[in-house]
Chains A and B, each alone.
Chain A
Amino acid sequence: AQTVTQSQPEMSVQEAETVTLSCTYDTSENNYYLFWYKQPPSRQMILVIRQEAYKQQNATENRFSVNFQKAAKSFSLKISDSQLGDTAMYFCAFGSMGQGNLIFGKGTKLSVKP
């Protein structure tokens, strides 16, 4: 069974600085997808970024980028130029080919301080 581990329950960063959130996962599959979701205080789950395991190039979405290390089963999220609106819970999730659901980590609570 796949598992997703987020080892940082809470993190904080100063506005405009860069922060990296860690995620590791365990799977025996070769093809899969990885996601980062953001959950602000409103509780809405919002997709931040996704990565296909067969792609070597790291995904980027504006200020958000990932460092995907397939051999190490690591999938970290880097947020550049942090903004107050980035304050939220961040969940790493694993998606298996042919399996509908996502496996979520326990989340990292990120606080951006002015």
Chain B
Amino acid sequence: NAGVTQTPKFRILKIGQSMTLQCAQDMNHNYMYWYRQDPGMGLKLIYYSVGAGITDKGEVPNGYNVSRSTTEDFPLRLELAAPSQTSVYFCASSYSPGLAGVVDTQYFGPGTRLTVL
């Protein structure tokens, strides 16, 4: 198993450009998440998905969009990039969010470091 994979590892964008961060998992997890990590801070949730076709906003969704057409993939779209979106982005997945009485461990990808200039 590759676990959670993310591409690219690094990217520099100009203000106003758009891009898609790719995330895939091969563990057949139903839940997937996008977090951002700003310098000196913990991770904050951008969007999450409970399964194919279902997504919901997290704490900091502005400036981002997501889609989930398959169980495996959960891309994050940045429209009109701004310097405030300079951050490290992590994708994660888990089997269960806790509805069955268990909060499953989240498994993280290696992250994408994005700089907007």
Contact of B45 among A31, A37, A101 (CB under 8 A): A101
Q: How far is the CB of A40 from chain B (nearest CB, A)?
A: 11
Task: Check A97–B103 contact: CB distance below 8 A.
Answer: yes
Stretch from B62-70, B74-82, B106-114 contacting the other chain: B106-114
Residue with the highest number of chain B CB atoms closer than 10 Å, among A35, A45, A96, A100: A100
Q: Which residues of A contact B31 (CB under 8 A)?
A: 100
A residues in contact with B103, CB < 8 Å: 32-33, 95-97
* Chain A interface size range: 20 to 34
How far does the alpha carbon of A41 sit from the alpha carbon of B35 in the complex, in Å?
18
CB distance from A113 to the nearest CB of B (A): 22
The answer to whether A102 has its CB under 8 Å from any CB of chain B is yes
| Residues of B participating in the A interface, judged by any CB pair closer than 8 Å | 31, 33, 35, 40-45, 48, 50, 58, 88, 90, 92, 94, 97-99, 101, 103, 105-108, 110-111, 113
Please list the residues of chain A having a beta carbon within 8 angstroms of any beta carbon in chain B.
Answer: 4, 31-33, 35, 37, 42-47, 50, 91, 93, 95-102, 104-107
Interface contacts beyond A97-B98, A100-B94: sample of 14 additional A-B pairs, CB < 8 Å, sorted by A: A44-B108, A44-B111, A45-B108, A46-B108, A47-B105, A95-B98, A95-B103, A100-B48, A100-B50, A100-B98, A101-B58, A102-B106, A106-B42, A107-B41
